[in-house]
Amino acid sequence: MRACPVVGSGAAEALERVPAYIDDRLAEDLSPGAIAAAHHISVRHLHALFRASGATVGDHVRRRRLERIRRDLLDPALKHLPAYVLASRTGLGEASHFSRVFRAEFGLSPRAVREQARGGA
C-alpha cells in the first residue's frame, strides 16, 4: 500500500500494521469493525486508509485469503488436503463461493492450479 496523504502522521504506521494483522488472522473475523477495533481506530479511518491505496478493506482481505489458498495449493506438503479444506482455514468455508472467487481472481480453478503445480495441465 502507498502512503495516505489525507490521514494523519500515524497513517504510514497503520498501513504497515493493518495488513500484517490481516495476514496473521486470515481464518478469524476480519470485518472492518473487528480490524479497526484491534488497532484502536475508527472504521471510517480504516476505510480511508484502504481507499487511499485503491482497494477496500474487504477486497484486501479477500485477495490475501485467496493468495494464501493459492500458495497452499502449490505446497507439496499440503497436497493431501482438498482445496475446500485449505479455503476453510482462511475463512472461505463455502465451497461454491470459494471456487467462484478463486477462479475470478486467478483465471483457473483450484484444481487446475494444483494440477499445473504437479506438471499436469
Show pLDDT as tens, one digit a residue, over the chain (121 residues): 333 433 455 666 777 789 999 999 999 989 999 999 999 999 999 999 888 878 899 999 999 999 999 999 999 999 999 999 999 999 887 888 899 999 999 999 999 999 987 876 5
Compute the distance between CA of residue 76 and CA of residue 114 in angstroms, rounded to an integer: 9
**Which ranges constitute the DSSP H helices of 1-121?**
11-24, 32-38, 43-53, 57-74, 83-88, 95-106, 110-117
What nine digits make up the cell of 71?
Answer: 500458495
- Give this prediction's pTM: 0.83
Cβ burial 92-118 (10 Å sphere, 16+ → b, else e): beeeeebbebbeeebebebebbbeeee
pLDDT at res. 42: 92
Give me the sign of the Cα torsion angle 21, 27, 30, 34: negative
The DSSP output letter for 27 is T
